[in-house]
Amino acid sequence: MSNVSKIEKLKSLTKRNIIKSRDLSEINNSSWKQAKPYSEIPGPKPLPFVGNTWRFIPFIGDYKIRSIDQLTLKLYKKYGPIVKIEGLLGRPDMVFLYDADEIEKVFRNEELMPYRPSMPSLNYYKHVLRKDFFGNSAGVIAVHGKDWYDFRTRVQKPMLQPQTAKLYAKTIEETADVFVEKSKRLRNNLSEVPFNYLNEIHKWSLESLAKIALDVNLGCLDEPPNPETQILINAVVSFFEKVPILELKVPFWRVFNTPTWKQYIHSLDTITNIAMKHINAAIENLNDKNINNIDNNASLLQRILAMNNDPKIASILALDMFLVGIDTTSSAVASIMYQLAKHPKVQENLYKEVKTVLPSENDKLTVQKLENMIYLKSVIKETLRMYPVVIGNGRCMTRNNVISGYQIPEGVQVVFQHYAISNSEKYFKRSSEFLPERWLKNTTNEEKQDFVKSFNNENTNAPCEFDKNSVHPFASLPFGYGRRMCLGRRFAELEIQTVIAKMIKSFKIEYHYGDLKYHIDTMYIPNGPLKFKLIDR
């Protein structure tokens, strides 16, 4: 494809993806006229010709992609709750939003087909480079408009119903048990796991996902593991590593095939080829059965097929799950384990809860037992508050809007700075402290009330002044919100809760290699080898 043709295709995609929605919701003309002009939004001033793009160029600018978390805090401190970054070569202006009230307004008023400005490089891959494969059913990741709406409408019911996710509790527990046993074998004579333990967590995540989506055992946790699964994991990690480079640096890939772009395409092709091999095998296996005979052991693939009778829809959904479900879930688990290792008192309180719910060695972790683990859920919420795996989300304005008193024209990308907001004293008291207790709340359930009372009596550091009900509902959104909320949320939550409960029941987790700073490395995770010391309980 020629460079000119490539640019024209990108322009066409951008134009097509911004949905014209004036018939859905019209801006109040008086509000628009009274608002401050877009040009007055504070932010770094662009230079002639190069705009603000130079700030992201290594050795020249001071905006580091791996330190986007610190950059967002710096911009907030310097400019306030709304910041404009304009003059970015090859992409629309960005407006950073740090106000939970304003974010709520955007979400509450979003249209039937909201446009999420994520990964135009993946959009190009699906709609241009591999259009013959994806066609008009390109999934929900980096897809917009009617194609996105039609696809999501056909798959969201089984994906977002809590009851559906609960059907996989036994499968998820079995995979978590295998991971615990493998972690035992990985330890050295100091009871430490290897420096690349994050890769082992990736293997657990992939194996768990495959069991849920396809009802197949990929062999990720076998001894020796299936080598193809490591190729798939490497491709997923490489894919996410390339995304910020392609999206935030000068987008030369839009003009010619850069080395980064070639590696990115190779990673996506690898993911597609390996995942589709297993997806097609699962469909072939289902063809020998009555697809409509749904029981509690049915895979998600079978449930989607039974609802839609469309193998393409089921296949692309499963492919999207492989693409974004591995790294996100495993990064969250790694982060939670690190926080528990750095906060032994929190870990001990969690262990007490787990032992109360699972007193004997052979107790099974049912959904009901998980629901009683309110401190476990609080630990997860607190980790994702302070260290969200994805630090920002956003919307591309599909019509003129007024945000924070400023005119925001159609086409501008508004980025919700979740990391900065959820670490702000404005929304969370003692925001820099890891305090899972802040998420405990009063409830009519006597057992939960007794636990809260017992915890507060035993823990002199319990911040009793916190009231979970007073937390702004849009101040911490690790899974997003609204029509484009993470489709796999219910499954990810169940997987994370299960594997953390199992690990804490089996091990006391320690970390003796100093404090790790977080950085963007595919996801927002601790920067360093996760050489946890796992001491048998």
| Known binding-site residue numbers for heme | 486
Q: 3-state SS of 129-169?
A: HCHHHHCCCCCCCCCCHHHHHHHHHHHHHHHHCHHHHHCCH
What's the Cα-to-Cα distance from 134 to each of 184, 434, 532, rounded to whole Å?
42, 44, 42
Helix (H, G, I), strand (E, B) or coil at 537: coil
- State which amino acid sits at residue 365: L
Q: How far, rounded to the nearest angstrom, does the alpha carbon of residue 161 sit from its chain's CA centroid?
A: 18
Q: What secondary structure letter does DSSP report for 184?
A: H
**163-193 burial: b if 16+ Cβ within 10 Å, else e:** eebbbbbebbbebbbbbbebbeeebeeeebb
Task: Determine the longest span between alpha carbons in the chain, in angstroms.
Answer: 71
d(CA 349, CA 342): 14
What's the Cα-to-Cα distance from 529 to each of 70, 326, 338, 342, 383, rounded to whole Å?
21, 19, 11, 15, 19
Going by C-alpha positions, the residue among 377, 333, 330 that lies closest to residue 354 is 377
Answer for the pair 52, 46: CB distance below 8 angstroms, yes or no: yes
* DSSP H helices in 288-413: 300-308, 311-342, 344-357, 367-371, 374-386
Per the annotation, binding residues are 486
Say which residue the tokens 């159609």 belong to: 410
d(CA 60, CA 53): 10
